[in-house]
Amino acid sequence: MSEKVGTPVGARLRTNAAWIGILALTSGFQFFRGAPMDGMVFGVAAALLIGDVFGLLSFVRIPSPRPRRWVSIAAGVVLTLLLTFLPRYSIADGIILVAIGLTLMPFVWADPPARMQEESTEQQDATTDATRVAIRRAALLWSAVGVLLCLWELGSFFLAMPSPAAEFRHPPLSDLIDPIMNNPFGRLACVALWLLAGVGLLRRGREQK
Amino acid sequence: MIRLITIAGFVLCGVLALALELMARRDTDRIAPLSELLDQVMVSRAVRLTIMVFWWWLGWHFIVAAPAPAAS
């Protein structure tokens, strides 16, 4: 899965085109819905991937950071409390979210250590055809659920546009989650879940069983 | 009624995701569990960046970005 340094541009483009497309499409939609800041975030991510495909960012060599477990736990607890008890939509919340994004960037950009990549390649070599089929099937089914959710949200968004009455009939997901987020206990649970999901996602592909 | 159908659509997506993961855990030879799928795909920088940007944006959207005023 990981692109080796010597992989030709064409092959890298073929591998990454779908992901660049998803980010670019999302960026365009965010601009359309009047959220330019959100659009810029997805746009910058797409641009970074394009730069990576063409080798324009090959000078950026980030070693995979390995934070101590207690630092991650302490940071998680502090961030959960701050994001729960600071006023929602405040500038402080914005600064914290930007700081989280920037702090995690090296973790996201850095490829897994060479040892793990070798293990991953060995694992892929040892993977049976049945396992490959099971993984492909899982990828297709999860993509289908994801696309269904996106289409339903998109449909609600457009149907809700004409008036507040239409918005009541076709509430987007954010309207449904808002009451939970406006309750301190609900927000605590959502923030903790969001942070845990982020940590869990970052560990994937790096810590092989 | 239409509101309920809209909400039911979102609930259905959650139920489908849950059912998919349960099915995968019951028979890993047929469908790989989500963790195994992520272990395979997150090795790629493009996938890592895309998924993590979407994750970050969820936090931004629900915690920081105030909703636009309703259309009149």
Residues of chain A above pLDDT 70, percent: 89
Q: How high is the ipTM of this complex?
A: 0.90
Please compute the mean of the pLDDT values over residues A98-103 and round it to a whole number.
Answer: 95
A76 has a chain B CB within 8 A of its CB: no
Please compute the mean of the pLDDT values over residues A142-165 and round it to a whole number.
Answer: 92
CB contact under 8 A, B43 and A117: yes
Cβ-Cβ contacts under 8 Å for A122 (sequence gap 6 or more): none
Q: What are the chain A neighbours of B64 within 8 Å (beta carbons)? A: 89, 93-94, 97
Please compute the mean of the pLDDT values over residues A3-21 and round it to a whole number.
Answer: 80
Q: What is the DSSP string of A153-167?
A: HHHHHHHHSS-HHHH
CA-based nearest distance A130→chain B, Å: 7
CB contact under 8 A, B41 and A205: yes
- Position A209 scores a pLDDT of 46
Closest CA to A112 of A207, A20, A201: A207
Instruction: Evaluate if residue A18 carries a pLDDT over 70.
Output: yes
Q: Which residue of B has its CA nearest to A119?
A: B43
- Who among B7, B53, B70 is closest to A164 (CB)? B70
Among A153-162, A174-183, B60-69, name the one with the lowest average pLDDT.
Answer: B60-69
Residues of chain B above pLDDT 90, percent: 76
d(CA A122, CA A152) in angstroms, rounded, equals 40
Q: Which amino acid is at B65?
A: A
Cβ-Cβ contacts under 8 Å for A132 (sequence gap 6 or more): none
Residue A110 in tokens: 């850095």
pLDDT by residue (tens digit) across A109-122?
987 766 566 666 66
Q: How far is CA A70 from CA A74, A104, A200, B66, in A?
A: 6, 17, 16, 33
- Position A15 scores a pLDDT of 86
CB contact under 8 A, A130 and B29: yes
Q: How far is CA A46 from CA A49, A61, A175, A198, in A?
A: 5, 19, 28, 20
Please compute the mean of the pLDDT values over residues B63-70 and round it to a whole number.
Answer: 75
CA-based nearest distance A146→chain B, Å: 8
Q: What are the chain A neighbours of B66 within 8 Å (beta carbons)? A: 89
Q: What are the chain A neighbours of B70 within 8 Å (beta carbons)? A: 164, 167
pLDDT by residue (tens digit) across A34-85?
999 999 999 999 999 999 998 888 777 777 777 788 888 999 999 999 999 9
A170 has a chain B CB within 8 A of its CB: yes
Q: Which amino acid is at A3?
A: E
Instruction: Evaluate if residue B19 carries a pLDDT over 90.
Output: yes
Per-domain residue ranges for chain B?
A: 2-62
d(CA A173, CA A150) in angstroms, rounded, equals 10
